[in-house]
């Protein structure tokens, strides 16, 4: 289960929440992704707990340089981050992250020793046009072509239908399972072992009322919760 806190809260609120999560000693793997400016404080609040720390994004450049405002994967790794989201729907929609740029971020994260959480998903218009598999496939293929299937041995994929994020709408467990199964099958075409082992998370208005049904599906391995 991954928690993406987006651009919400302040240091006191987020460190308190992180400490509460850590104190609960969750029986499942938990990852929290606070805003960049709170990474160090949240890392301290998590202490030596089993809760993992991740960044919400990384720069697509691997080398040092004059990239004002960017935060490199090496920098977030220096702050105890083990994971980083890449290709989140909001990054794609609001900041123009293309499939190619997402692939570069995926590589930059892995080069810094960080496990990328590759986010993929379609808009409502694309789903209504029957283009879900095409869109998600192209998003996956951009990374597969650049990084190769072996890179997915140390990666997570998160399916987040854009039309179900913050809208109150949720893909039915059957809809979500279908896409997850297609993602796994696409990876299996390249390497069946990696496809069977990779975690594929679902993100899109996950809540207590639907979590059990969603996570009981064969190819849904957890949630990406905002």
- 138 as an active site residue: the answer is no
| Secondary structure (DSSP) of the chain | -EEE-TT---HHHHHHHHHHHHHT--SS--EEE--GGGHHHHHHHHTTSS-EEEES---S--S----TT---HHHHHTTT--EEEES-HHHHHHH---HHHHHHHHHHHHHTT-EEEEEE---HHHHHTT-HHHHHHHHHHHHHHHH-GGGGGG-EEEE--GGGSSSS----HHHHHHHHHHHHHHHHTT-HHHHHHSEEEE-SS--HHHHHHHHTSTT---BEE-
Residue recorded with tokens 């691997």: 62
Active-site entry in 44, 88, 128, 174:
88
Q: From the candidates 63, 160, 180, 189, give the one annotated as an active-site residue.
A: 160
* Residue 160 annotated in active site: yes
Residues tagged active-site: 88, 160
């Amino acid at each position: 289960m991954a928690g993406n806190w987006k651009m919400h809260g302040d240091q006191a609120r987020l460190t308190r929440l992180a400490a509460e999560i850590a104190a609960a000693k969750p029986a499942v793997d938990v990852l929290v992704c606070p805003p960049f400016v709170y990474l160090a404080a949240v890392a301290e609040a998590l202490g030596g707990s089993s809760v993992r720390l991740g960044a919400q994004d990384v720069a697509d450049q691997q080398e040092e340089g004059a990239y004002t405002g960017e935060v490199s994967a090496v920098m977030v790794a220096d702050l105890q981050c083990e994971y980083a989201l890449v290709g989140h729907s909001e990054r794609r929609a609001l900041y123009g992250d293309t499939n190619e740029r997402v692939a570069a971020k995926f590589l930059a994260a892995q080069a810094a020793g960080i496990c990328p959480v590759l986010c993929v998903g379609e808009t409502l218009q694309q789903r209504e046009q029957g283009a879900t598999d095409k869109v998600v496939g192209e998003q996956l293929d951009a990374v597969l072509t650049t990084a190769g299937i072996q890179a997915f041995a140390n990666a997570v994929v998160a399916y987040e239908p854009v039309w179900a994020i913050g809208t109150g709408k949720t893909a039915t467990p059957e809809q979500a399972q279908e896409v997850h199964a297609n993602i796994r099958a696409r990876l299996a075409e390249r390497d069946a072992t990696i496809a069977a082992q990779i975690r594929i998370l679902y993100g899109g208005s996950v809540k207590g009322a639907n979590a059990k049904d969603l996570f009981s599906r064969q190819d849904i391995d957890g949630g990406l919760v905002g």
